[in-house]
């Protein structure tokens, strides 16, 4: 399978190595010209759970011949989705595209710019840490689940082949026909973990060792669950707080993506996670004071990062 990974961040580079090792022909698309040059020159230092390799994967700044690609995996941050899919549309791609990105709103953005593409969406709770621009560490095992946005596009054969590829690459994989529920299921996990780890600058596992924070995490999650319920979402697990705590344990050594963004002084995905819960809550008349406050704190940290 010929796969183009758009966005060589932590998850993009993690998937690059896993899929390459499982036998896929992987290329990376990076719209950042300088970083693309560096990755081509220096290779990718890929630290798996039990191996450590250097990969030389071709990195280009556009899709070149898009007719040659079986699948694009969108791995940019949620706030970069719009620009990335605009570029993909300019390269005339209307094949199969997978988003496993954090947050809500990515599918809608892809649909808007690539109306003819076959969209697969889903989630992954694999832990990935970007140690440096060309060094990624597989920091914890989770679960990856995905499914088509529109039934039959792509067909079952493709979904099965891709699922086999991911399983060969060691990922625990599931196909689901309930994509919106899946995405909200992951959103609730990010609502509990990401902002708090970023504010406190702790690893995921530490959240459940700090009693007041464990309580705040549960309160944030329960508030977001009221929004999910009002929206008619059926979460893919029975006990949201227990599930979030379980993910903290499974990815205990991971530095969450928002924590990594804050350490780098980058913009975060807060508006697509806790901020999105607040917006959805407003439209459904479900007040979300805790998610609002945490969103504002992260905005404050982002502004401080810009000022310093």
When asked if residue 257 is in the footprint of ligand KPL (CB under 6 A), the reply is: yes
201: left (phi over 0), alpha (psi -120 to 50) or beta: left
134 binds ligand KPL (CB under 6 A): no
Question: Looking at 109, 118, 256, 268, which residue binds ligand KPL (CB under 6 A)?
Answer: 256
Q: How far, in Å, CA of 72 to CA of 56, rounded?
A: 19
How near is the Cβ of 10 to ligand KPL at its closest, in Å? Answer: 8
Kindly state the smallest distance separating residue 93's Cβ from ligand KPL, in Å. Answer: 26
Rg of the Cα atoms in the chain: 18
80 touches ligand KPL by CB under 6 A: no
Q: In the complex, what is the shortest distance from the CB of residue 277 to ligand KPL, in angstroms, rounded to a whole number? A: 15
Verify binding: residue 125, ligand KPL, rule CB under 6 A. Answer: yes
**CA–CA dist 241, 222 (Å, integer):** 7
Least distance between ligand KPL and beta carbon 297 (Å): 17
Q: Considering the complex, state which of residue 14 and residue 189 has its C-beta at the smaller distance from ligand KPL.
A: 189
* 200 close to 213: Cβ distance less than 8 angstroms: yes
Footprint of ligand KPL on residues 157-216 (CB under 6 A)? 189-190, 193-194, 204
Chosen residue from 16, 101, 106, 254 binding ligand KPL by CB under 6 A: 254
C-alpha–C-alpha distance, residues 254 and 207, integer Å: 12
Q: 64 or 135, CB closer to ligand KPL? A: 135
Asked whether the beta carbons of 183 and 104 are under 8 A apart, the reply is: yes
CA 213 – CA 194 distance, rounded (Å): 12
**Residue 127 interacts with ligand KPL (CB under 6 A)?**
yes
User: Which residue shows structure tokens 């407003």?
Assistant: 282
Element (H, E) at 257: helix 257-264
Residues at the contact surface with ligand KPL, assessed by CB under 6 A = 102, 125, 127, 189-190, 193-194, 204, 247, 251, 254, 256-257
């Amino acid at each position: 399978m010929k796969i183009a990974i758009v966005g060589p961040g932590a998850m993009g580079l993690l998937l690059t190595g896993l899929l390459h090792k499982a036998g896929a022909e992987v290329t990376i698309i990076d719209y950042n010209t300088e970083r693309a040059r560096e990755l081509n020159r220096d290779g990718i230092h890929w630290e798996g759970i039990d191996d450590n390799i250097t990969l030389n994967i071709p990195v280009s700044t556009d899709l070149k011949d898009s007719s040659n690609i079986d699948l694009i995996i969108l791995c940019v941050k949620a706030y970069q989705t719009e620009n990335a899919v605009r570029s993909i549309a300019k390269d005339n791609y209307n094949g199969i595209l997978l988003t496993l990105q954090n947050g809500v709103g990515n599918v809608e953005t892809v649909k808007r710019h690539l109306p003819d593409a076959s969209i697969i969406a889903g989630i992954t709770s694999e832990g990935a840490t970007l140690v440096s621009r060309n060094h990624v560490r597989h920091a914890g095992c989770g679960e990856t689940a995905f499914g088509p946005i529109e039934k039959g596009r792509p067909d079952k054969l493709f979904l099965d082949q891709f699922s086999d590829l991911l399983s060969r690459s060691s990922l625990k994989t599931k196909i689901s026909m309930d994509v919106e529920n899946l995405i909200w299921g992951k959103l609730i996990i990010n609502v509990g973990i990401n902002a708090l780890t970023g504010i406190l600058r702790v690893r995921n596992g530490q959240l459940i060792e700090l009693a007041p924070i464990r309580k705040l995490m549960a309160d944030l999650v329960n508030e977001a669950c009221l929004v999910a319920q009002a929206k008619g979402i059926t979460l893919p697990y029975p006990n949201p707080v227990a599930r979030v705590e379980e993910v903290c344990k499974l990815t205990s050594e991971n530095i969450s993506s928002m924590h990594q963004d804050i350490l780098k002084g980058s913009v975060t995905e807060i508006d697509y996670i806790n901020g999105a819960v607040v917006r959805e809550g407003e439209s459904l008349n479900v007040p979300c004071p805790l998610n609002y406050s945490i969103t504002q704190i992260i905005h404050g940290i982002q502004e401080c990062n810009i000022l310093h």
